Amino acid sequence: MAVSRTRIHVIAAGASILLAVFGLFWSGARFGWTAGDRTARLQRYLTERMATRVAVVTSAATRAAEQGALVAAAAASRDRVADLFARLDTSPRFHVDAAPSVTIWVPTGTSPDYRALAWTDGPSENVGPGRLDRAPLLYGASDAAGLRLIDVQPILHEGQRIGAAVAEVKLSDATRDD
């Protein structure tokens, strides 16, 4: 019993058409039937993703800023800096593709200069004294590494501002212009 070539071609064409129709319906159901539906879905997705990133970075900066007594002790004595690093390291881990990096900045005594006292994944970059002095502050920054979301919170101890906590999370990698 031999199957003719024509029959094989008809079966293959029918399977291809059936697969294409299924793919069309699946795509329409998942992404929307019109350009407006697809745009609205993408906008919702991006809004939710950004809101999650904002919550992560502000939460991390706020938690770090609450360590005022430990920051004051670490700024006064190098023996306490390890305790501050350890406290920053025990922060809750976030379930996003990029966990925040946190840096504690304290004034050097020469206004408006600051130095990094402790950090989680290396000290934050490109956070000038002007931004540290304006805390609380949430902003985006673009540099050679990409686009980052940064939150700066003041660190208070006994009613005095003693530094700034900076949390940042990467939003996107840098693009290359070839």
- Report which residue type is found at 116: A
d(CA 167, CA 14): 56
The pLDDT of residue 91 is: 56
The pLDDT of residue 166 is: 93
Q: What is the mean pLDDT of residues 141-155?
A: 87
60-78: pLDDT as tens digits = 999 999 999 999 999 888 8
Q: Looking up tokens 């002095």, which residue turns up?
A: 133
pTM above the 0.85 mark?
no
- 25 domain residue, yes or no: no
Output 138 or 124, whichever has higher pLDDT. Answer: 138
CATH code of the domain covering residue 135: 3.30.450
If you ran DSSP here, which 8-state letter would residue 56 be given?
H
Number of domains in the chain: 1
Name 3's Cβ contacts closer than 8 Å, sequence gap at least 6. Answer: none
- Full domain range(s) for residue 132: 50-173
**The pair of three-digit structure tokens given for residue 133, joined into one six-digit string:** 């002095």
Strand partners, 116: 105
